Structure 1
Amino acid sequence: MTIKTGDKLPDATLTIATADGREQKTTAELFGGRTVALFSVPGAFTPTCSAKHLPGFVTHADKLKAAGVDEIVCMSVNDAFVMAAWAKSASADGKITMVADGNADFTKALGLEMDATKFGMGIRGQRFSFIAKDGVVTHLFVEEPGAFAVSSAEHMLGQLG
């Protein structure tokens, strides 16, 4: 079942690369007690994700925070070290928290996985974004396959304004 506006986020553990290695964060730790904007991409370093999706959130990070977002999270079904390298290459360090959902456990619990095996990419996350306040989804934007519009930083800002 796909998550919807008003639903509590499912329990899961995500991974963040740090200077000391990998750090595990539960969804309760990541989303509890604050407002978080999360956007999910099918893969780090993939064309639309690298050219449009991540850069939009980097560019608009200050505006999102001014609109009441405490933290911006980028998630992908990649490993934490790939996510950290992508953050560095995109100048996202300090603006976006890059989290790995390496086995797609959280993505599957959200009901937003996609089968990209025909492209040699395995199970991935759909392109989507949401706002969660204290772990409850207040806004949800899921793209149609192959599209990039409603999950963008610009669209999210328009919904918050």
Structure 2
Amino acid sequence: MIERGNPVPSVRVKLVDANGIADSTSDAILGTGLVVLFSVPGAFTPTCHVNHLPGFIANQAKLHAAGVTRIVCASVNDQHVMKAWAEASGALGKVDFIADGNAELATALGLAKDFSGSGMGTRYARAAMIIRNGIVDNVFVEDAPGVSASGAPAILMALETANS
């Protein structure tokens, strides 16, 4: 698993943002400024849709005030699903999305998790990272169902601690 001090890997992904859908690489998306990346098992899935993403939307201004230049959500879904989720959740223009349809970035980060038992195949573990200019500052991986360590409030606390 990626650790503090590691550079973000360069993996081909699809970027979904306010400009639409574009081919990109993970290091191009995550490599400049202070970036918060959070990963979810799936777009529109109950915990991701109701508990994880909304916290980052609601705390966008506070995250930016803490110095965050970009908030990014990654999931093992195709770009069309990610765009529909961004639009349906009101996140478009507030959060950028990485569509990692083949779980290549999830695997490169060491966050790939087998959800085959529930019919979902390989997905991301629920997690979050603070990345400064392409280097990982902190990694927060949930060790139980739900959102606590990787939610926006926990990331805000980590940023405040780092800035004090």
TM-score category, normalised to shorter length: over 0.9
- 2:58 is matched with which residue? 59
The alignment-based identity, stated in percent, is: 44
TM-score (norm 1): 0.94
The offset of 1:116, in angstroms, is: 0.6
1:75 matched to 2:74:
yes
In structure 1, what residue type is equivalent to 2:129? F
SS in 1 for 2:158: helix
SS in 2 for 1:14: strand
Over aligned residues, Cα RMSD in angstroms?
A: 1.5
Q: More deviation in 38-47 or 141-150?
A: 141-150
In structure 1, what residue type is equivalent to 2:46? P
- 1:160 is matched with which residue? 159
The offset of 1:20, in angstroms, is: 8.4
CA offsets 1:73-126 (integer angstroms, 9 cap, x no match)? 011000111111111111101100011011000110111111011111010000
The offset of 1:155, in angstroms, is: 0.4
Change (3 A) 1:67 1:17: closer
- 1:105 is matched with which residue? 104
The offset of 1:144, in angstroms, is: 0.8
**Is the 2:129–2:138 Cα contact (8 Å) retained in structure 1?**
yes
Q: What are structure 2's unaligned runs of at least 5 residues? A: none
Instruction: Give the number of equivalent residue pairs.
Output: 160
Runs of 4+ in 1 over 2 A off after TM superposition: 16-22
TM-score (norm 2): 0.92
**Is the 2:141–2:149 Cα contact (8 Å) retained in structure 1?**
yes
* Alpha-carbon distance in 2 for matches of 1:78, 1:147: 20
The offset of 1:147, in angstroms, is: 3.5
In structure 1, what residue type is equivalent to 2:75? S
- 1:10 is matched with which residue? 9
* Alpha-carbon distance in 1 for matches of 2:75, 2:53: 11
* Alpha-carbon distance in 2 for matches of 1:114, 1:43: 12
